[in-house]
Structure 1
Amino acid sequence: MPSHTITLTNRPPTPALVIVGAGPRGTGLIERIAANAPELYAGSGLDIHLVDPHPPGAGRIWRATQSPLLWMNSHAEDVTMFTDETVHMAGPVRPGPTLHEWAGIDGRTFADRRLQGAYLRWVHEQAVAALPEGVRVHHHPRRALRVGGPRDGRRQVWLEGRPRPLLADLVVLALGHLDAELDDEQRELAAYARAHDLVHLAPDFTADSDLSPLAPGEPVLVRGFGLAFVDLMVLLTEGRGGRYEGDTYVPSGREPVLYVGSRRGVPYHSKIGYDWTGERPPLPRFLGPAEIDGLLAGAQGFNFRRDVWPLVEKELGFAHYHRLFTVHPERTDMAWADFEEKYAVASGQDIQALVASAVPDPADRLDLAALDRPLDGVRYGSYEEFQEGLRGYVERDLVRRHDPEHSPDLAVFLGLLSVYGQLIRLGDIGPWWHGFFSYLASGPPGPRLRQLLALSRAGVVKFVGADMSVAAEDGVFRALSATVPGASVEARALVEARLPEPTVGRARDPLLRELHAAETPAGLLRVDPGDGRVLDRAGRPHPRLFALGPFTDARTPGAFTRPRTGGPAFRQNDATARAVLDFLRSLRSRAAA
């Protein structure tokens, strides 16, 4: 009989990467893996496992199954998922279309979120198609429950409803916005609502909230005046059959009456409604890499208000005055070269004196404190007077944000983007800065504020004021504000119109709670600012676990990147992708040796 020789080979398993979260951040990471693989990982097999119960690309927030009334918060021309030469990164630039170029719509359009979701699905498909041969992507429409395994060995990623874990050489957490357990105040309010048959809606992504308990014609207290409120306003008005006829709102009769207030007591500033022209301010100038290096090198650490905020103020002031002096010199009393020279060496009250001498109209001066708290010290005799007053404030804001005569505002917006890109390196600097940035730079589209005015005139929305507090007493919720002293509003429903704080300790996601990693005082996950590796409680970077997103202390501004603004999220994605590919290439080489 012929003999046969059977040769057994011990081939190493194909390297595996698990990405938890298949939304925009996970898609952006795959795009960067595809861009860098020809240099760092050509010719090697790799299995990429995407874990997300929602479809890849759009994820939860941009999914197709949501109201078409909900818009993007940026012009379609200001949304891109592709890099350009302004991004400082080691990997190659792979250009691609913005949302408006891809969709063939006017760049000034505020597209609905379902269209954005379609764009994201297309970007995901393009990124997967660009991966080298031998790199395969597998989508697991499940939730990840926990990550285990030895620190220096293959990771085990346990999925909901799957008896065996995924085995991975590396894991990247790209989870996006997190659901959270209630904090102490929210637990007390929820318990009070249950005991007194009231309605309490805790912080949540508005499109996921059950708004049916908010009854037609009934007063509803709303705490929060940002983007979550705008979504709530839309879903409870147009979403219930109301319509706009010009600047007039025609109710359907199914709307509740929304009494809205917040810490500032005013809505976020309108998106700017004109394009940039001419020279951009040369940023960064006073808050760049050298200044961040200095802050990080300080033996005693740094204090945001004492050490960082003065640099932020000076940087934003430089952007503002550069534009004012170079484009509107008739509104200044000094040559730009002279002002710039003096501004560069001045600080504190000296800057204020310089500005007062060079800029005659106070309306042309940048006052960040007044911008942040416009109702500080402002008092009204009645709610009726305050409604008129706040409508006037919103109308003035709309005019200003759509008039290029006030283009220093757009320069400040560019300054905010520059500053945010630098501050990422400092880690967790507390929630105030992120709120201030969103208030100035990430407000609603102008048409939404015009709708707000129409709803106010129709009596569907009423304004409560600044520093709104809510008491649970006498079987109801009661709202108070110092803006209208002595007045109060009672309601049997309270909506917290904001996203949950991105704290790891209160995250409902069990995967994060079981990481045993380092957290910041604000509850964010600590990561290596260089490549996104998760830091353990001893401050050591984990060799096989990375994290990207708003739950980390390297969170970036906004959901998407504006073209030609440097894109901190692109830079992070690229650094993480390169670290992942370097590690996997080294692992493959060791296994083959």
Structure 2
Amino acid sequence: MDIDLIGAGPRGLVAAERLIEWQRQTNQYDHLNLTFIDPYGIGGRVWPVGQPHELLMNTNPDYITLFTDDSVQMEGPIVTGPNLYEWAHKQAPAFLFSHQLPNRADLLTEAAALVHNGYASRSLFGAYQLWFYDYLQQRLPESVSLILRKEQVLSIRHIETTNRYLLKTAVDRFQTNAVIMALGHYEDALTDEQQSLLNFADENDLHYTTPTQPQEYDFTNLKAGENIILRGLGLSFFDAVTMLTQGRGGHFNQGQEGELTYQPSGIEPHIIAGSRRGFPLRAKGRNEKGYGELDRPHFLTPDWFSHYQTTGSLIGSRFIEQFHHEAEYVYYQRLLALKYPQVDADEFLREFVAAKEPSAIVFRSPIVESDYLNWNQLLNPAEFVTNSDDPKTMANYLQTDVEEALLGTKTGPLTSALEMFRDLRDVVRKVVDNQLLRPEDYRNTFLGQFNNENSYLSVGPPETRIAELRALIQAGIVTLLGPSMMAEADSQTHQFATWSKAKPEDRYEASWLIEARLPAVSASHTLNPLIQNLIKEGLGRPERVTMEDGSTFEPGGVDVDMSRNELIDSNGQHRTGLYFWGVPTEGRHWFTTASPRPGVNDNLLRTADATVADLFHTFTGVQ
């Protein structure tokens, strides 16, 4: 039995582990030949060990694993192992000493100093994945082989006579019985604006970077003091800023009261950045939760879901309202403990859950209005913070964000409330996977409003990055524009120009413009040759959702069977033996970028086991 795994990042590694353990338990095949195929090797494109060591993950190391555990509800065998934090302090030293890895000295130092609620470098997670691949090699029973090919699969063709698949790379062709594809973000065809900006850059000897992986930004020719425009204030923005400051030898000093100041190296550029909102992502809260600890839902409960069993029966605004109530429940629970000990919190929360309008319970409580959880203020800070382009104003806003985050996920009211976006991910997936929303609401309310809220409020950087940004603004290294950032090619100056609609008179010019974001997930517009081939040959198709008026729209992802992750072909049929999961299915699935988390019945671990279970049950007679 031959199985190829395309993509050697966390998903591919977990799938390989499941295949090995299923074969160890069942001994179903005389020989099981597993082949990883990834041009970047183990860790894939996102997690190379040799990337800039200053780049951090935005998840605590205790929350990162590649192993199953007793919480995972699955058919296959449970085989436990160390999470990233545990590995760093137990297995990492011997592994790092015995392998000639880039940044080895930095990795050894980091592993020894890693703390429970800190943040590991992406390099260290990459090293963990390399160790995991070695671990898999040591776990192989005699009937299993596992190899790695550093190539890119360009096409897959079904061979009718043998019912096998022919894979083609730039250097080879080979056959297999089944394929598990775990691809990541990939560049898309350029929009008209992007193509125009790229042409302008070529004509004027400028530097323009379209959406791509931030660790691959090339700043080699960017001079000290030169202007560079970053469009976007998300995670890619923070990565770029880090590489352009700490990556160029600058460092931060902490004062007696905890505030950071920046000590420049003298070779930093001047960074001008902005976005539509004009404010960076909210900081991740300081983690106070233990293994497997989640705040449980009080509104989006099984009984609530039982009312919406019919596809398309849930109104989008109702879903968001209930989700907001979940965050509000946690917010007021923490707030009462912190500031209102005279209030009977248990009684307040019981009434809050039972009320037709929970806000009425808040209004008639002793809680002062300035302490209310204000969603409009959270999501539209520009309406409440005037002159955000002023360094002092933005510094004060960022300081408040840091202070809120440091209160912690079990103590801080706001931090705990925003943590619900993560604690309830599986609940949200249930809404998407069961297609409970009306198509119009799924497109407009969920993919629009809810995804925007989730991205802005819950997937931000560690609070240290927000504190660092504050220091960089105060040092004049970073200039943040006001809301509604604009950027264009200026044919008169032969430079890129940027400004905020709120203050068009403050205009900046630069020869560098970076689209500081990842490519969108779009099966119809991706430049990934394998996905293009699958769609062209009819082995796969973009997901399309039919609206009530008969029109269709594409959420972006490749269409797959929801339970088994088999590809759906152009005729709407399952393609037996072709499994596809991860980022390119975003839209069909939801929030596909997360790495496995221990102790919480993790969705990625469940999905990997379910996929392998289907494969073993389907290919029972193949030897």
TM-score range, shorter chain: 0.7 to 0.9
Q: What residue in structure 2 maps to residue 423 of structure 1?
A: 428
| Amino acid of the structure 2 residue aligned with 1:351 | P
Question: For the Cα contact (< 8 Å) 1:331–1:360, is it kept in 2?
Answer: no
Deviation of residue 177 (structure 1)?
Answer: 2.3
Aligned to 1:366: 373
String of CA shifts for 1:399-422, please: whole Å, max 9, x gaps: 111124853344334421243223
Amino acid at match of 1:136: S
1:97 is aligned to 2:107: no
User: Take 2:151 and 2:449, find their aligned partners in 1: how far apart are those partners?
Assistant: 35
Contact residue 34 and residue 128 of structure 1 kept, 8 A: no
Separation in structure 2 between the aligned mates of residue 344 and residue 529 of structure 1, nearest angstrom = 34
Letter in 2 for 1:234: T
Looking at structure 1, the residues matched to 252 and 181 of structure 2 have their Cα atoms a distance apart, in angstroms, of 43
Task: Quote the residue 2:55 is aligned against.
Answer: 70
Aligned match of 2:573: 540
Q: 1:297 to 1:496 in 2, by over 3 A?
A: same
How far is 1:488 from its partner? 2.9
AA of the residue aligned to 2:2: A
1:188 equivalent in structure 2: 196
Q: 2-side partners of 1:45 and 1:69: how far apart?
A: 43
- In the other structure, the counterpart of 2:399 is 395
Counterpart of 1:258? 271
Aligned residue number for residue 142 of structure 1: 151
Q: Which amino acid is 1:126 matched to?
A: Y
Over 3 Å counting, the alpha-carbon distance change for 1:31 and 1:338 in structure 2 is same
Question: 1:153 corresponds to which residue?
Answer: 163
**2:563 match: secondary structure:** coil
Q: Distance in 2 between matches of 1:302 and 1:185?
A: 37
Q: Is the 8 A contact 2:6 2:183 kept in 1?
A: yes
* Pairs within 5 Å for 1:552-563: 552=585, 553-556=588-591, 558-563=593-598
Partner of 1:515 in structure 2? 534
Q: Distance in 2 between matches of 1:340 and 1:83?
A: 36
CA distance in structure 1 between the partners assigned to 2:611 and 2:26 by the alignment: 13
Q: CA deviation at 1:40?
A: 4.5
Identical aligned residues as a percent: 28
The 1:424–1:344 alpha-carbon spacing in structure 2 relative to 1, beyond 3 Å, is same
Question: What one-letter code is carried by the residue in structure 2 that aligns with 1:275?
Answer: E
Which TM-score applies when normalising by structure 2?
0.83
Report if the CA contact (8 A) 1:287-1:422 is conserved.
yes
State yes or no: 1:442 paired with 2:459. yes
Does 1:179 pair with 2:187?
A: yes
Instruction: Structure 2 unaligned segments of length 5 or more: list them.
Output: 90-113, 255-259, 434-441, 544-553
> In the superposition, relative to structure 1, how do residues 288 and 44 fare at CA in structure 2: closer, same or farther (>3 Å)?
farther
Give the aligned residue type for 1:221: I
Whole-Å Cα distance in 2 between the matches of residues 217 and 18 of structure 1?
A: 49
> Given the superposition, is the C-alpha separation of residues 124 and 279 from structure 1 closer, same or farther in structure 2, using an over 3 Å criterion?
closer
Query: Structure 1 433/91 Cα, relative in aligned 2: closer, same or farther at 3 Å?
Result: farther
For 2:204 and 2:564, locate their aligned partners in 1 and report how far apart those are by CA, in whole Å.
50
The Cα RMSD (Å) is 2.8
CA gap of 1:351–1:231, structure 2 versus 1, over 3 A, is same
Deviation at 1:38, TM superposition (A): 4.2
Q: What's the counterpart of residue 11 of structure 1?
A: none
Q: Which residue of 1 aligns with 2:257?
A: none
Matched with 1:504 is 523
- 2:275 equivalent to 1:240: no
The letter of the residue matching 1:400 is: E
Distance change >3 Å, CA 90–CA 308, structure 1 → 2: farther
Deviation at 1:170, TM superposition (A): 1.2
Tell me the distance in 2 between the aligned counterparts of 1:574 and 1:146. Answer: 26
Instruction: Give the secondary-structure state (helix, strand or coil) at the position aligned to 2:349.
Output: helix
Q: CA deviation at 1:395?
A: 0.4
* 1:564 and 2:596 are equivalent in the alignment: no
Which residue identity is paired with 1:355? V
Paired residues of 2:154 and 2:533 also in contact (CA < 8 A):
no
With over 3 angstroms needed to count, the CA separation of the structure-2 counterparts of 1:574 and 1:367, relative to structure 1, is farther
Q: What residue in structure 2 maps to residue 24 of structure 1? A: 10
Q: Could you tell me how far 1:581 is from its partner in structure 2? A: 1.7
The more displaced of 118-127 and 474-483 is 474-483
Letter in 1 for 2:495: V
2:611 alignment counterpart = 576
1:286 corresponds to 2:299: yes
Relative to structure 1, is the Cα distance of residues 491 and 559 closer, same or farther in structure 2, using a 3 angstrom cutoff? same
SS at match of 2:274: strand
Inter-partner Cα distance in structure 2 for 1:527 and 1:149: 18
Question: How many angstroms apart in 2 are the aligned matches of 1:538 and 1:316?
Answer: 42
CA distance in 2, matches of 1:170, 1:434: 34
Structure 2 residue 359 is the aligned partner of structure 1 residue 352: yes
* 1:561 partner letter: P
One-letter code aligned to 1:137: L
1:338-375 deviation per Cα after TM superposition (whole angstroms, max 9, x unaligned)? 532442452xxx22222222361345433333222211
Look up the match of 2:496: 477
Alignment-derived partner of residue 127 in structure 1: 136
Q: CA deviation at 1:573?
A: 1.1
Q: What per-residue deviation string (whole Å, max 9, x for no partner) do you get for residues 526-549 of structure 1?
A: 222212112224433221211111
Once the 2 structures are TM-superposed, how far is the Cα of residue 161 of structure 1 from its aligned partner?
1.1
Q: Any idea what the Cα deviations from partners look like across 1:236-258, whole Å, max 9, x if unmatched?
A: 11222223333332222222111
2:481 pairs with 1:464:
yes
Rounded Cα–Cα distance in structure 1 between residues aligned with 2:49 and 2:405? 31
Amino acid in structure 2 at the alignment position of 1:306? S
Q: Match for 1:99: what amino acid?
A: L
Distance 1:335 1:323, change over 3 A: closer
CA distance in 2, matches of 1:548, 1:293: 28
Identify the residue that residue 346 of structure 2 maps to in structure 1. 336
User: Could you list the runs of 5+ residues in structure 1 that have no partner in the other structure?
Assistant: 1-14
Q: Would you say the 8 A contact 1:331–1:361 is kept in 2?
A: no
Deviations 1:149-183 (A, max 9, x none): 15792111111211xx2212111111122233322
